[in-house]
């Protein structure tokens, strides 16, 4: 089956609001042509000075396979509801952005409906489905890197970091660097695929030159994960060091993170688990995180680096909002849209490529 479902302008029209005298961003964005292959659509976008490709992953297999909450399959739809309705103006070049589509997840989601992660046999099945999803995400995103475009990947669990890193490393034919804005290192045991072990699997596959976690909560990571992180010579700057002990302010923390992962000829993966944000509806709701503005600031500064190859926004789960799914769709949509705008703004300001 196809790993990817295109999204068309007609399909997304139901998300768009109209107001007399105004133009929405949806009118400027590019959409794939149904008659063209993935490679052809990407080549066409690049030929028209396109730079960015937005891809959704509507799944919650990975978080559930990690014992987390459901609902991450709605993150991408929440994003579209807000992003498409932004005002079109000269400050954001919508023509540079291709709204490509979604990784095909519906059949895997359907197979997981009756699975309960508290039952060992069901948990094994969830993790097997997650491994199947890895293959589809890789197949969808590898051609984007191959075309020299920058993916912005939204929705689903943090399990999807592994196929993104595989695809980037495959195209570069070398290890890559990664910075992860996350309370969790996601460096759990290699016990079958889920949202808590994307980076330990990446290390086992020799995909990572260096990995740095910004905002890690020291008591939200098990001892084995922290030991494995140390043994791999990877690093973190903890939430406690920044906001409790006051060793660094946020700007200094961002700068230190950049120093740790910056290599002249090595691409950088930018990973954001949205549960780093205080009260964000997510697969692991967090009441002691950073603000939306602080997350935007970090994404903006990381995006300015020519080495930064993609943005991945994971774990937003609208159904986990205390006031219900509708409120969660509104909050998740706004936050995801703001983070994407911060990434695009940073990319607009990056210096000329050093390659």
pLDDT given for residue 150 in this prediction? 98
pTM attached to this predicted model: 0.96
Q: Which residue has the tokens 């890193």?
A: 165
Q: What is the pLDDT along the chain (355 residues), one digit of tens a residue?
A: 688 999 887 777 777 777 766 788 888 999 999 999 999 999 999 999 999 999 999 999 999 999 989 999 999 999 999 999 998 887 888 899 999 999 999 999 999 999 988 899 999 999 999 999 999 999 999 999 999 999 999 999 999 999 999 999 999 999 999 999 999 999 999 999 999 999 999 999 999 999 999 999 999 999 999 999 999 999 999 999 999 999 999 999 999 999 999 888 899 999 999 999 999 999 888 999 999 999 999 999 999 999 999 999 999 999 999 999 999 999 999 999 999 999 999 999 865 554 4
pLDDT digits (tens, 9 = 90+) for 186-228: 999 999 999 999 999 999 999 999 999 999 999 999 999 999 9
CB 310 within 8 A of CB 63: no
CA angle 72, 74, 77 (to 5 degrees): 140
The span from the CA of 13 to the CA of 5, in Å, is: 17
Residue 110, CB-side half-sphere exposure with 13 Å CA sphere? 4
CB 332 within 8 A of CB 319: no
**Strand locations in the chain (E):** 4-6, 52-56, 97-103, 150-154, 176-181, 208-216, 235-238, 268-273, 308-314
Q: Which residue has the tokens 């939306």?
A: 292
The end-to-end CA distance of the chain, in Å, is: 37
**Structure tokens that stand for 1 in this block:** 């089956």
CB 129 within 8 A of CB 61: yes
Relative orientation angle of helices 292-303 and 250-261, to the nearest 10 degrees: 30
Name the average pLDDT for the chain.
Answer: 94
The span from the CA of 252 to the CA of 240, in Å, is: 14
Q: Which residue has the tokens 């978080």?
A: 63
Q: Which residue has the tokens 């997650």?
A: 130
């Amino acid at each position: 089956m196809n790993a990817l479902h295109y999204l068309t302008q007609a399909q997304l029209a139901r998300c768009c609001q109209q107001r007399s005298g105004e133009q929405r961003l949806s009118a400027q964005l590019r959409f794939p042509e149904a008659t063209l292959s993935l490679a052809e659509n990407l080549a066409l976008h690049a030929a028209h000075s396109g730079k960015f490709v937005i891809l959704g992953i509507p799944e919650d297999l990975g978080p559930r396979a990690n014992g987390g909450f459901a609902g991450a399959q709605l993150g991408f739809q929440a994003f579209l509801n807000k992003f498409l309705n932004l005002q079109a103006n000269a400050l954001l070049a919508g023509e540079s952005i291709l709204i490509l589509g979604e990784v095909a997840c519906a059949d895997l989601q359907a197979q997981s409906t009756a699975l309960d992660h508290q039952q060992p046999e069901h948990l094994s099945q969830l993790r097997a489905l997650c491994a199947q999803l890895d293959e589809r995400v890789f197949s969808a995103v590898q051609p984007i890197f191959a075309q020299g475009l920058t993916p912005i990947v939204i929705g689903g669990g943090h399990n999807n970091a592994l196929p993104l890193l595989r695809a980037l490393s495959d195209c570069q034919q070398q290890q890559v660097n990664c910075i992860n804005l996350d309370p969790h290192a996601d460096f759990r045991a290699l016990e079958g695929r889920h949202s808590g072990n994307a980076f330990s699997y990446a290390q086992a596959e020799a995909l990572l030159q260096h990995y740095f976690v910004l905002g890690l909560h020291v008591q939200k990571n098990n001892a084995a994960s922290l030991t494995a992180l140390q043994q791999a010579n990877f690093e973190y700057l903890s939430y406690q060091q920044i906001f409790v002990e006051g060793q660094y302010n946020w700007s200094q923390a961002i700068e230190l993170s950049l120093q740790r992962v910056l290599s002249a000829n090595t691409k950088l993966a930018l990973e954001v688990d949205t549960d780093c944000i205080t009260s964000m509806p997510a697969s692991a709701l967090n009441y002691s995180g950073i603000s939306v503005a602080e997350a935007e600031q970090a994404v903006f500064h990381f995006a300015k680096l020519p080495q930064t190859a993609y943005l991945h926004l994971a774990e937003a789960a609208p159904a986990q909002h205390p006031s219900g799914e509708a409120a969660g769709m509104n909050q998740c949509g706004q936050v995801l849209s703001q983070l994407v705008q911060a990434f695009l703004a940073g990319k607009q300001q990056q210096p000329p490529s050093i390659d």
